[in-house]
A and B are shown apart, each in its own frame.
Chain A
Amino acid sequence: MKSLENIIPKLVIAPGLVLGFAFIYGFMVWNGVLSVTASRMLPSYDEFVGLEQYVRLWEMDRWRLALKNLGIFSVLYVGGSMALGMGLAIFLDQKVRLEGVLRTVYLYPMALSFIVTGTAWKWMLNPSLGLEKLMHDLGWASFSFDWLVQSDTAIYCVVIAGIWQSAGFAMALSLAGLRGIDDSIIKAAQMDGASLPRIYWRIILPILRPVVFSTVLVLSHLSIKSFDLVMALTAGGPGYASDVPATFMYVMSFTRGQIGLGAASATMMLATVAAIVVPYLYSELRTKPHER
């Protein structure tokens, strides 16, 4: 009986583990293999070319720009969403009357697909149809907001739309963290005469560090994956000024008939993600036993 009991859990989880591993690691390896072939239109394993695809990748101006955009976007998107989200959470935590409604308002953008909001944002940020026209109509004739169509600034529009979508999520997590803090600590500090802002800065924020950490983690991986967002808003344009690795890989693999190159870029994306995530996972799973 005991041995049956031991086997059942393993049997039950086996399909999940096997399929999950095949999906994750199997395909990662497959992708890695592709990246050392000369595959162009379709995967072909006839010719292995070592690291040539990677060399070619790093020589491409477009790839380097995509990486730079990813850096700019990630920092601003994660930082902005975190700051806005936590700020909103702190304000919401002040026993505000319309909390439920406001929370829904901040959170609903997460519900929408970027194909949905990309359509709206693209129009809103269009110089001759959207925000700029509105300002002109309202009388500010010299107002100009053509970020979307300028090579230098297109990526910042992606940031704005991205923060709009994800700040609510950061807010929800921060709020959950805030609500989990013991009131007695705050009361004690108040009795010592500390002002509310000071209490937040010195006591509450440090306690929330784990929440901040996991939010930053989730947002970071979302930013590396961001494909729908860029596709819908700028399609990587103008030209390729707002290209990111995710869209780069897509274009190279499917439109340009350069699957080997696309696979190399996907491997680089994986490596970036791994560099951020693996250390976190390692520390996470090491400390867990202590906590129990």
Chain B
Amino acid sequence: MNAKAMTEKYISRGLVYAVLLIAAAFFLTPLYVMVATSFKDAEQIRSGNLLSLPNSLNLDSWRLAWDSACTGVDCRGLKPYFLNSVVMAVPAVLLSTAWGAINGYVLSMWKFKGSEMLFGFMLFGVFMPFQVVLLPMSQVLGYLGLSSSLGGLVLVHCLAGLAGTTLFFRNYYAAIPRELVNAARMDGAGFWRIFWRIVVPMSTPILMVTLIWQFTSIWNDFLFGVAFSGADSKPITVGLNNMANTSSSVKSYNVDMAAAVIAGLPTMLVYVLAGQYFVKGLTAGAVKG
């Protein structure tokens, strides 16, 4: 390669890296601001600015945010809400994923007359604005005796996530070669056997995608959390919102930021640790065109 081509190559490489790194700065700045502020004390926040580094790693805000910051009269910090979210999210994620897998399995490999059309109708649920269901769902939950409880929230999230999880699995399973299934059927395998022995072992990529997606949606949900929870069953998003809006004459930004980071930690960890599976799963055709 001659000099000109070499220079061109290096410039374009340089350009690529420059663009990517600037973009990375854009994406990371809010996180930096949140974390840095949570380590500053009140004086430093007042006198410094957004981007200044904290003078020292002051953990007080974190302690306060976790177990003694006040939301109104309740001064137990974020801990109870964090636990509520865990108790609510884990069953909701597992149930909605399993349910979606089974539905997807039926709709892709055991089609019957009208199943495609039914699937099409169900798909609309992925796009429906959830504001519509708030009041009717309240009535239903009351009827079932599940109002203002974590169980009620689990039910709502399962129903709301049904369309999406079914979509993911059905699209993925649709790409599994028919020969495998037909061969198994000829060997005498029935509905459940094929599911457990053949389909599930092949489902790892889509399982990862769905679990991550569902966990993120459910953990981060605010609308259902604020509308359907009672005094004891508020999830962490509601608790965080209360805390950030609770103020005495001095707004403790450091505690608010620490609380925000705590609230976001589980989902962030999931993305950092399992993000590659998410992309792999998408590549494997989870959300095809």
Contacts and interface: CB of A to CB of B under 8 A. Distances in A.
Interface of A: 5-6, 8-10, 12-13, 16-17, 19-21, 23-28, 30-31, 34, 43, 84, 87-88, 91-92, 94, 96, 98, 100, 102-117, 119-121, 123-124, 129-131, 133-134, 137, 164, 168, 172-173, 175-177, 179-180, 196, 209-211, 213-214, 218, 221, 224-225, 227-228, 231-232, 246, 249-250, 253, 259, 266, 269-270, 273-274, 277-278, 281-282, 285, 288, 292
Contacts of B166: 16, 20
A111 B267 contact: yes
B34 A120 contact: yes
Contact of A214 (B116, B237, B287): B287
B276 A100 contact: yes
Contacts of A177: 289
Contact of B128 (A107, A232, A270): A270
Interface stretch (B56-64, B68-76, B98-106, B143-151): B98-106
Interface in B159-211: 159-160, 162-163, 166, 174, 190-192
A260 B19 CA distance: 50
A110 B106 contact: no
Contacts of A250: 131
A24 B128 contact: yes
Contact of B112 (A6, A119, A123, A179): A6
A42 B129 CA distance: 21
Interface in B201-259: 216, 219-223, 237, 240-241, 244, 253, 256-257
| Interface residue range, chain B | 35 or more
Instruction: Tell which of B17, B127, B264, B279 has the most Cβ of chain A within 10 Å.
Output: B127
B125 interface: yes
Contact of A228 (B174, B223, B275, B278): B223
B236 to A, nearest CB: 9
B24 A106 contact: yes
Contact of B282 (A176, A231, A269): A176
A5 B191 contact: yes
Contacts of B1: none
B42 interface: no
B159 A123 contact: no
A41 to B, nearest CB: 12
19 contacts: A10-B112, A13-B102, A21-B121, A28-B128, A88-B19, A108-B271, A114-B220, A115-B240, A115-B244, A124-B50, A130-B50, A164-B30, A176-B282, A196-B12, A209-B289, A214-B287, A214-B288, A228-B222, A278-B124
Contacts of B110: 9
A19 B241 CA distance: 31
A270 B137 CA distance: 17
A277 B264 contact: no
B56 to A, nearest CB: 21
> Looking at A114, A249, A266, A274, which has the most chain B CB atoms within 10 Å of its CB?
A266
Contacts of A17: 103, 118, 122
A111 B191 CA distance: 36
Interface string B12-54: 1100110110011011111101100100000000000111000
Contacts of B278: 107, 172
B49 A137 contact: yes
A92 to B, nearest CB: 7
Given A120-B30, A253-B134, A19 B162 contact: yes
A120 B171 CA distance: 37
A5 B23 CA distance: 54
B125 to A, nearest CB: 4
What are the 7 closest A-B residue pairs judged by CB atoms, nearest first?
Answer: A210-B289, A113-B220, A9-B110, A111-B267, A176-B283, A24-B125, A111-B271
B283 A246 contact: no
Contacts of B115: 13
Interface centre among A103, A116, A123, A210 (most CB of B within 10 A): A116
Contact of B135 (A130, A259, A274): A259
B6 interface: no
Contacts of A281: 120, 123-124
Contact of B33 (A13, A105, A120, A214): A120
